[in-house]
Amino acid sequence: MQLVQQRRQRLELALFACLMFAFMLLMFAGVAHAGADTTFDTALTKFSDFLEGSGGKIITVLSLAGGIVALASGRFSLSQVAIPVGVGVGAGTGIPIVTSTVTATI
């Protein structure tokens, strides 16, 4: 039980660190204007390629491994299966949907 609590605390700390990093990125990001601005095109291309390629697969496998570890703990929950499936679908199809929506001309 103590090991599970330690792992949970580490996971919460890692999540907090990621959120703080994202917040800091937003604080120091420059102003972007809609239209023909290409300031973030390179970052968008690299990030979307990462998530659609090996990065998305790694995230999905890690999520699946977390679900398997949770199942091995003896308590079954539908979320232990549904979350890895959702992560896989989101990583595989979410990026093209979002980029096509954002780049659509209204």
Distance CA 79, CA 76 (A): 9
pLDDT recorded at residue 102: 66
The reply to whether 50 and 101 lie within a common domain is: yes
- Answer whether 64's CB lies under 8 Å from 84's CB: yes
Q: Would residue 77 count as lying in a domain?
A: yes
Number of domains making up the chain: 2
Look up residue 33 and give its amino acid: H
Q: Tell me the residue range of the domain where 14 lies.
A: 1-30
Tokens of 26: 């937003």
Q: Would residue 78 count as lying in a domain?
A: yes
The reply to whether 63 and 99 lie within a common domain is: yes
Confidence of residue 104 (pLDDT cuts 50, 70, 90): low
The reply to whether 47 and 23 lie within a common domain is: no
**DSSP 8-class letter at 104:** -
Computed from CA positions of residues 60, 62, 66, 71, in that sequence, does the dihedral angle turn out positive or negative? Answer: positive
Lowest mean pLDDT among 34-38, 41-45, 78-82: 34-38
The reply to whether 25 and 48 lie within a common domain is: no
CA distances from 82 to 35, 53, 96 (A): 38, 22, 21
Q: Would residue 38 count as lying in a domain?
A: no
Lowest mean pLDDT among 19-33, 43-57, 60-74: 19-33
